[in-house]
């Protein structure tokens, strides 16, 4: 095992990637340590759904340092438990709500999303139609300008 590591290290050095690999490893280790510090106050019996991405407490909770520095997260938290995860399920009706698990989806559905789901779906469809019409109108205006330029 050690020799495979050494051979791989030599190959990476040869193509000048060893520094990048070391930097990526340091970054991942720092991320693991941050996550461990974040959940250190939880009791041993606490359930932690995986893949865990961080608590949803503003930009500082982001696992992406650039996003945290910019003050915006690209991934909003689960709409059920309000934790960040790597992958989400979407509501099948409105496609607007995001959930880390089926359990969070069911809890949010019973907690009131059932009443708002249809309205959210209609609003999203109306926004999509308006965007499509605006795009079609812009494309038509460009085509009209091209025919004027030809004449």
56 closest CA partner among 98, 109, 27, 24:
98
Phi and psi torsions of 57, nearest 5°: -125, 55
Whether residue 71 sits in one domain with residue 25: no
Whether residue 67 sits in one domain with residue 34: no
For CA atoms 83, 89, 91, 97, the dihedral sign is positive
Structure tokens at 2: 């050690």
Whether residue 1 sits in one domain with residue 53: no
Percent share of the chain, pLDDT over 90 = 17
Whether residue 92 sits in one domain with residue 114: yes
CA 74, 77, 78 angle in degrees (round to 5)? 140
Domain count, the chain: 2
Rg of the Cα trace of the chain?
A: 24
Q: How far apart are CA 40 and CA 63, in angstroms?
A: 17
Whether residue 83 sits in one domain with residue 22: no
Whether residue 37 sits in one domain with residue 71: no
Whether residue 90 sits in one domain with residue 111: yes
- Weakest mean pLDDT among 1-5, 12-16, 142-146: 142-146
Higher pLDDT, 126 or 72: 126
Whether residue 132 sits in one domain with residue 65: yes
Query: Residue 68: what pLDDT?
Result: 45
Residues spanned by the domain of 62: 47-150
CA atoms within 13 A on the CB side of 87: 4
Whether residue 70 sits in one domain with residue 15: no
Instruction: Give the global pTM.
Output: 0.45
Whether residue 31 sits in one domain with residue 58: no
Whether residue 115 sits in one domain with residue 75: yes
Whether residue 99 sits in one domain with residue 35: no
CA atoms within 13 A on the CB side of 85: 19
Q: What is the pLDDT of residues 4-27, one digit of tens each?
A: 888 988 888 888 888 888 888 898
């Amino acid at each position: 095992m050690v020799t495979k590591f050494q051979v791989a290290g030599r190959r990476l050095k040869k193509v000048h990637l060893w520094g990048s690999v070391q930097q990526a490893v340091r970054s991942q280790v720092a991320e693991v340590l941050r996550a461990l510090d974040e959940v250190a106050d939880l009791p041993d019996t606490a359930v932690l759904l995986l893949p865990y991405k961080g608590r949803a407490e503003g930009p500082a909770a982001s696992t992406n340092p650039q996003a945290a520095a910019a003050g915006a997260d690209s991934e909003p938290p689960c709409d059920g438990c309000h934790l960040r995860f790597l992958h989400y399920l979407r509501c099948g009706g409105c496609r607007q709500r995001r959930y880390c698990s089926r359990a969070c989806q069911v809890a949010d559905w019973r907690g009131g999303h059932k009443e708002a789901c249809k309205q959210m779906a209609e609003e999203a469809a109306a926004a999509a139609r308006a965007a499509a019409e605006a795009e079609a109108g812009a494309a038509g205006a460009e085509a009209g300008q091209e025919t004027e330029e030809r004449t």
